[in-house]
Amino acid sequence: MHGRGPLTEPAITRLANATIWTSGPGGVLTNADLLVSAEGKILAVGHDVFSRVSVPREPVEIDATGLHITAGLIDAHNHSYILGSVNEATLPSTAMVRVADVVNSESLQIYEQLAGGLTTANLLHGSANPIGGQNAVVKLRWGAGPEEMLFAGAPGGIKFALGENVKQSNRTGANTRFPQSRMGVPVFMANRFTAAQQYLEAWRRFEAGQGPKPRRDLELEAIGEILRGERLVHCHSYRQDEILIFLRTMESFGVKVATLQHILEGYKVADEIAAHGAGASAFSDWWAYKYEVVDAIPYAGTIMHDRGVVVSFNSDSSDQARRLNLEAAKAVKYGGVGEAEALKFVTLNPAKQLGIGDRVGSLEPGKDADFVVWSGHPFAPATACLQTWIDGRKYFDRTVEEERAGRLRTERETLLAAAKKSAGGKKDEPGDEKKAEAARARFFQRALEHMRQHAYSCCEQHEALLLQP
């Protein structure tokens, strides 16, 4: 396919004279430079960059006068570019399934979100069960295969969920899957964690020559990784009572929760969340889609931030993921978080929550050269994302977009003509209409990987879709 893949390869590059939002200790710098290495890392940020680092040859110069540069945006809750269902909803614990096995590197959503400045996404399993599947943290390396999109070195994670979805409150028909009540959810989790403790112990005994070799169990292995602090828990959650009992249940197993997702009532228990040390990966101002979210307020992010919780704003939506900069701006509007601090809600804070804060999320020497060039202030509604860079490679450039789109249009027309021919459709001849329709249906049936592209992708909506007959 034309137009996929990076537009440049890494080279020593200087973006000069920009307003740079470092999301790091440097704060916001005006008339500053960003210097990128040929290895795709940040060499220096600020003024007089060449006085601080020497480079072996002349850099590629990009005049960024009047433009703004931020770190690449990071979405801590995203279900785009997942092939097929995001929910393996058949068991209350599906800790063994892996989103990394179904990353759809051909999804156009990658490009659409790149065009909004997104560079890293946490692809999560859905919220249908208390213990869901394993997530995949990816970089939006458009044109790369699924394995190459994975964020190498990012800690493994897993989706958990509480509330209406996991007790199947909004489903019609006979529900028999345990649990069906709020009291069932923590008990179910405690049972699986106890089983995982026994599983780890059985392996320990075997390795010490004190017992038989246990049968490998991928579910308990994943939960065992949580117990050992090697797998991050990201838990879909809304109500304060459920949040509290969940944190206490995890604490009883010595587990620290990485993020509470959505966390719309988190403002009521912000101190408890801060004391536990969990991050809040929240919606800015999205609610009223079901009963358990009735108590949401737009100040929740600010309140949790003020109470010492690491807060991010996520998309949970393929569309919203294209505008995360404007989501961050809402932390300024509701509660008056400082602009530079609010930007961290979609840069450094989600990076910390995903355990990759030492690699991405801010513009600091040594970090990955993942950044966005904006036409103006990143929170201004009229601002456009001009360029998106990952690992020192430019993957999106608004100035070449028209030409790229033209090439894709031509390619599409050629492919459609070829498809029509091979499928035997003769739409133009009277009487053959039905045959042509059937032929087209047969042809497009094969394009399975694109079947769900236009389904609205998020845990909530997926739940709703599953309810459809």
57 or 454, CB closer to Zn ion? 454
Letters for 362-401 (x = contact with Zn ion by CB under 5 A, - = none) are ----------------------------------------
Site map (CB under 5 A) of Zn ion, residues 190-229, x = contact: ----------------------------------------
Expressed in angstroms, the distance from the first to the final Cα of the chain is 36
Cα 145 to Cα 103, 112, 180, 464: the distances in Å are 9, 17, 40, 31
Amino acid at residue number 212 = P
Binding mask 76-115 for Zn ion (x = CB under 5 A): ----------------------------------------
In whole angstroms, the minimum distance from the beta carbon of 459 to Zn ion comes to: 3
Q: Is residue 316 at the binding interface for Zn ion, with CB under 5 A as the rule?
A: yes
Q: How far is the CB of 302 from Zn ion (least distance, A)?
A: 21
36: closest CA among 359, 374, 371? Answer: 371
Beta bridge partners of 236: 161, 261
Name the minimum Å distance from CB 374 to Zn ion: 27
Contact segment (CB under 5 A) with Zn ion among 87-95, 269-277, 303-311, 450-458 equals 450-458
Q: How far is the CB of 121 from Zn ion (least distance, A)?
A: 12
Rank residues 12 and 464 by Cβ distance to Zn ion and give the closer one.
464
Nearer to Zn ion, 120 or 127 (CB): 127
Between 88 and 316, CB nearer to Zn ion = 316
Choose the binding region for Zn ion from 138-146, 178-186, 315-323, 389-397 (rule: CB under 5 A).
Answer: 315-323
Smallest separation, CB 372 to Zn ion (Å): 24
Nearest approach in angstroms of CB 54 to Zn ion is 47
Q: Hey, what are 467's tokens? A: 């309810």
Nearer to Zn ion, 68 or 236 (CB): 236
The label of the residue with tokens 């500053």 reads 32
Binding test (CB under 5 A) with Zn ion, winner from 23, 119, 127, 353: 127
Q: Which range, of 25-33, 110-118, 182-190, 456-464, touches Zn ion by CB under 5 A?
A: 456-464
Strands 311-313 and 371-374: unpaired
The two tokens of residue 71 are 């770190």
Six token digits for residue 454: 């236009």
* Min dist. Cβ of residue 28 to Zn ion (A): 32
Which residues between 223 and 242 bind Zn ion (CB under 5 A)?
236
Nearer to Zn ion, 32 or 161 (CB): 161
Query: Smallest distance, Å, CB 97 to Zn ion?
Result: 16
Nearer of residues 129 and 388 to Zn ion, judged by Cβ: 129
When CB distances to Zn ion are compared, the closest residue is 459
Q: Which is nearer to Zn ion, 202 or 354 (CB)?
A: 354
Give the nearest distance from C-beta 327 to Zn ion in angstroms: 15
Other C-beta atoms lying within 10 Å of the C-beta of residue 46:
18
Pairing of strands 385-390, 393-397: antiparallel
* Dihedral angle, C-alpha 330, 333, 336, 339, nearest 10 °: 60
List the interface residues with Zn ion, window 327-356 (CB under 5 A). Answer: none
Of residues 10 and 133, the one with the C-beta less far from Zn ion: 133
What's the closest the beta carbon of residue 238 comes to Zn ion, in angstroms? 9
- State which residue, 206 or 289, has the beta carbon closest to Zn ion: 289
Residues at the interface with Zn ion (CB under 5 A): 127, 236, 316, 458-459
